[in-house]
Structure 1
């Protein structure tokens, strides 16, 4: 009997990848909290895991005149959104340090939860394989 890893592990391997990418984005927001004009960004985590962005990564450009410069397409990261601040700074920076730190901590806890789940699943799968062998 073969093991189907997709069924055994569920969405957790993908969640780890997305949460890792999100931690980089949140860390970048925190690193730029004093940069004038910097716009805080975040991932649409639910949308990514539901596969909403798989078919939207490319935007085809059309020409309305033969004199326009042809363009094949533009790759867009549509899963990355700008965060709307509660209190925007005068210098145009939208990073709110307390919110970014809270989101970073929550993301780290969610990452750890998925990692712990996967670890227990792998432990169970290894145990099942040893018992069959």
Structure 2
């Protein structure tokens, strides 16, 4: 019987990679808050996770192995442009307060996914050792 990360961690492992990617995108948005003409981007987390879970009617993502997301991908194809609430005169669509809020929220989600993975590892360790330290 082969045990894969998909069967052990479920969607938490790909979700962790997506949360990390989203942190990088939001950090990029914040870094370019004063760049004229810069368009704020964001990861469509729901659509990406649906594709991993097989719930999408769209084409499958190109992945290194079935059921995984390539965390090393630097493609911007999965990024969407964020709609500005108040466009600026220089064409920059980054709202620093929105980005900071999104970054904080994303950090909480990342930590939650990491906690679920750590709890699964602890449970597996307990099952393997039989409760002995």
Shared fold (TM-score, shorter chain, > 0.5)? yes
* Rg comparison, structure with higher value: 1
SS at match of 1:42: strand
Report the aligned-residue RMSD: 2.4
- Paired residue for 1:85? 84
User: How far apart are residue 78 of structure 1 and its match?
Assistant: 3.2
Q: Report 1:1-133 matches (<5 A).
A: 3=3, 5-51=5-51, 52=56, 55=60, 77-131=76-130
Q: Distance in 2 between matches of 1:86 and 1:78?
A: 23
Closer, same or farther in 2 for the Cα pair 1:117/1:56, shift >3 Å?
Answer: closer
User: How far apart are residue 56 of structure 1 and its match?
Assistant: 6.4
Name stretches of at least 5 consecutive residues in structure 2 with no aligned partner: 63-74
SS at match of 2:38: coil
TM-score, normalised to structure 2, is: 0.77
SS at match of 1:33: coil
**Pairs aligned (count):** 115
User: How far apart are residue 8 of structure 1 and its match?
Assistant: 2.6
1:40–1:82 Cα contact (<8 Å) kept: yes
